Structure 1
Amino acid sequence: MSSIFKWEAKPFFDMVTRRQTLQAISTTALPALAGCTTDILDSGKSQTRYTLNIEPIEVSPVEHALFDPDDDALFGNPAQTALAAILPDGRHTTYGYEPLPDDAYVEYEGSYYQTTNLVTGRKQMERTLIRAEPLPDKADVPNDAILVDELNRPAARVVKILHSNAVTGGEGNSAELLREDAYVLRRPVERESRLATGELDGRIVTMTDGGNWAYRLHVTHKRITETAHTTLAIEVANSHSQFRDVVFGSRIDVELTPENLSADVRNLLEDAVRRETYEETVPLPETFEALLTALGLKAVDTAVTGKLLWYDGELYRCALYVNDSS
């Protein structure tokens, strides 16, 4: 658009009359301005953008597939306790929660197992329930209110879950963790926390050091019916090579080799691997569409994450996001 203002005025007036000049300007500038106007209008339209992320995973597929609980007291310790009980052929039952992820792969003395969780009944038992009553405004926050981050992790996590449920009106993901707006203390470290002792009953906890999002905690004890979850381990392989086949059959979403791809698709994939993030807007180039098809992502409407790609002897995690942007 700016090119129409760059012509030299003096030579032009030496060659033509003023009327001719105006005619020339009108016939030359209007189409250019029309094009600029179209560009400006088009620039305000939303475009559908495809963002492809390909992140390298610096371990082998077998290492990546194996579940190895950490030393975290809240989740790691129950998982370690369960594994010690079920490997190689035992059973472990918990009430109201599953200590291990379903279908996790674990190794024991050279053999490989997959965990599974089964519901094996129900049981009446006494539990501690925690509720959070929102305070109407900061004026009601006393000086001895506790900042949530001053609590240890098990107690702070419970308060944050209750806060999330309150601000979403019970429509958020945290609602799945609650029983009628109350959090039930089930895991061992939760049942030993300050919440379980009743020390925090009636105390006020704030989500920020400025006193915003304040709640009065209520601790009650009640007999409730808990679901029994029994965890088992099923042997799936008795050697590393056999387990590698299990992993590729169950966890690797796409296997590609350079020879599988046309030269232009191969070059685009390797460029995306180098960048780790690659973007295109609609209409998509044919080569990019072909790459999405090869990756099994062509039918994605909004987003998909966590897809595992094995390409040319390396493991990658893929994600595709489809967004409208102006």
Structure 2
Amino acid sequence: MALSRRDALRIAGTTALASVAGCSSPGLFEADQATREYSLSVDRMSGTPVDRALYEPGDDQLFGEPAREAIAAVVPDGRHTTYGYESVRADAYVEHDERYYQTKHVVTGRKKIERTLVRVDPVPEDAVSDDAPLIESFERPTARVLKILHSDTQSGGEGSSAELLRGDAYVLRRPAERSSALAAGDLDGRIATMTESGTWAYRIEVATEEIVETAHTALAVEVADSRAQFREVVFGSRVDAEIDPDELAPDAREILQQAVRRESYRETAPVSDAFEALLDALGLEDVETGVNGKWLWYDGEFHRYALYVTDA
């Protein structure tokens, strides 16, 4: 746990008293003791928090198209249900006819659906032919599925990809997946490899099964009827710190301005009073290991900031 300056001074004071009493323990922050470095990163961002908060789906077939379809269906007061997956990012802000909405998801039931499931079995290198296709060569809806299954296989089912699977199988749910080469059965029984050398090769197995899928219904909640009102919504929900230069003591303000100019600022524990005051203003006083992606509005400009705590 990172020590506050107050705790550090208290401990150092206790150590000093012990030395006076005849103890030989070294000071807590002497050169041969482990110390911590606090690195504040501040990047100036283009645009405003309002611009950045608005969600614009990409134009890709796999994720972007379903999201755009869902938004068109739910704004201003519709519903859009998908089975087994959420079609649009939850809690995203979108605009329609100069009014602003936030997307939400609710579970509205379950349904038995016939789905295509994909599994892979590792095969030895000597079973891989020279013309075995590279997984990377497939279109994204197919390649992504096989890469997820590869990652799960290599991690023994303990990796982050496990949450994307149903047991050892990937279920083709999204429209782009259901129209892919995997769904068509073109790759069933074929061997594909992650590398040109034939290592990490897999036999692809495709099966059709009836499974129970959860119904995810997307809807939109109006949060503002003007851009000015939406600004207050964004600053209340997404901006982590809003600081006027006059609110900071001169030495703390200089540290922040230096961090903005150089994109970073570092101190080793025990940190200065000015740096501690700045961290408190940024809401970082209780960070123990690190945090990033924070939003700052300072002196009329938009910034993103982070704090990293490491052993120096």
**Normalised TM-score (structure 2):** 0.87
1:108-141 deviation digits (Å, cap 9, x = unpaired): 0010011100000000000011111122x42222
Count of residues in correspondence between the two structures:
284
Aligned position for 2:174 = 187
Partners of 1:173 and 1:83 in 2: CA distance = 28
Alpha-carbon offset, residue 280 of structure 1: 2.2
Shift of 1:43: 7.1
Matched residue type, 1:109:
D
| Structure 1 counterpart of 2:8 | none
- Counterpart among 81, 88, 93 of residue 93 in structure 1: 81
Q: Distance in 1 between matches of 2:292 and 2:175?
A: 33
- Describe how 1:1-326 pairs up with structure 2 within 5 A: 46-135=34-123, 137-325=124-312
Distance 2:32 2:203 in 1: 49
Identify which range, 228-237 or 161-170, moves more after superposition.
Answer: 161-170
Deviations along 1:164-209, one digit per CA (max 9) or x if unpaired, are: 1112221221111000011100000000011111111111221122
2:192 and 2:307 mapped to 1: Cα distance?
40
- The residue type equivalent to 2:74 in the other structure is I
2:154 and 2:88 map into 1 onto residues whose CA distance is: 30
In the TM superposition, residue 163 of structure 1 has moved relative to its aligned partner by: 1.3
Q: Which amino acid aligns with 1:73?
A: Q
| Counterpart amino acid of residue 96 in structure 2 | Y
Aligned mates of 1:180, 1:219 — CA distance in 2: 14
Larger Cα-atom Rg = 1
Q: Distance in 2 between matches of 1:50 and 1:161?
A: 36
Separation in structure 2 between the aligned mates of residue 318 and residue 163 of structure 1, nearest angstrom:
35
Distance in 2 between residues matched to 1:304 and 1:273, nearest whole Å = 17
- Return the letter of the residue paired with 1:230: T
Counterpart of 1:24 in structure 2 is: none
Residue aligned with 2:70, SS: helix
Counterparts of 2:243 and 2:48 in 1: how far apart (Å)?
16
Deviations 1:257-278 (A, max 9, x none): 1001000000000100111122
Instruction: Give 1:51 shift.
Output: 2.0
Cα deviation per residue 1:281-326 (whole Å; 9 max; x = unaligned)? 222222222221111111111121111111111111111122224x
Q: What is the root-mean-square deviation of aligned Cα atoms in Å?
A: 1.6
Amino acid at match of 2:280: T
**Could you tell me whether the CA contact under 8 Å between 2:255 and 2:265 is conserved in 1?**
no
Deviation at residue 149 of structure 1 after TM alignment: 1.1
State the Cα distance separating 1:232 from its structure 2 match: 0.5
Which consecutive residues of structure 1, in runs of 5 or more, have no partner in the other structure?
A: 1-37
CA contact (8 A) 2:100 2:223 kept: yes
The equivalent of 1:14 in structure 2 is none
- Give distance in 1, aligned partners of 2:40 and 2:135: 38
* 1-structure distance, mates of 2:275, 2:127: 58
Over the matched positions of the two proteins, sequence identity in percent amounts to 57
Partner AA of 2:275 in structure 1: F
8 A Cα contact 2:109 2:215, kept in partner: yes
Instruction: Tell me the equivalent position of 1:8.
Output: none
Cα distance in 1 for residues equivalent to 2:86 and 2:31: 52
- Kindly provide the amino acid, as one letter, of the partner of residue 255 in structure 1: E
- Following TM superposition, the consecutive aligned residue runs of length 4 or more in structure 1 with deviations greater than 6 angstroms are 42-45
Q: CA deviation at 1:210?
A: 2.1
Q: Match of 1:78, as an amino acid? A: P
How far is 1:48 from its partner?
2.2
More helix by share: 1
Instruction: Kindly provide the amino acid, as one letter, of the partner of residue 90 in structure 1.
Output: G
State the 1:45 CA deviation.
6.3
